[in-house]
């Protein structure tokens, strides 16, 4: 069992330029040393963005305030994925 498995993270797609990882409704696209983490919403993939100290989920044409739980889920997923991939 790998650290990804231990953290509940699944690799769902692996291509030449990017790998896609998921845990619950969090998703990350990881390329050559860089990645983007987001949350699957009813509007599709939404990324966590900050505006004037306020967290928002931004997706195609829609930006909604993020809850504290959503922010924590995205940040924890990002930290866990970074830890697992650095092993």
Q: How many Cβ atoms sit within 10 Å of the Cβ of residue 27?
A: 19
Who wins on pLDDT, 31 or 34?
A: 31
Separation of alpha carbons 80 and 84, rounded Å? 6
- Dihedral of CA 78/7/27/85: which sign? positive
pLDDT for 58 beyond 90:
yes
Cβ(83)–Cβ(70) below 8 Å: no
Q: Tens digit of pLDDT for each residue in 60-71?
A: 889 999 999 999
Q: Tens digit of pLDDT for each residue in 7-26?
A: 999 999 999 999 999 999 99
> Per-domain residue ranges for the chain?
3-85
**3-state DSSP call for residue 3?**
helix
What pairs with residue 27 in β-bridges? 22, 38
What is the band of 34 on the pLDDT scale with cuts at 50, 70, 90? low
């Amino acid at each position: 069992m790998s650290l990804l498995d231990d953290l509940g993270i699944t690799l769902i797609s692996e291509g030449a330029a990017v790998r896609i990882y998921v845990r619950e409704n969090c998703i990350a696209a990881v390329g050559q040393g860089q990645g983007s983490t987001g949350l699957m919403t009813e509007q599709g993939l939404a990324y966590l963005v900050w505006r004037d100290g306020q967290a928002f989920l931004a997706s195609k044409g829609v930006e909604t305030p993020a809850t504290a739980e959503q922010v924590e889920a995205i940040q924890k997923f990002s930290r866990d994925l970074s830890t697992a991939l650095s092993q």
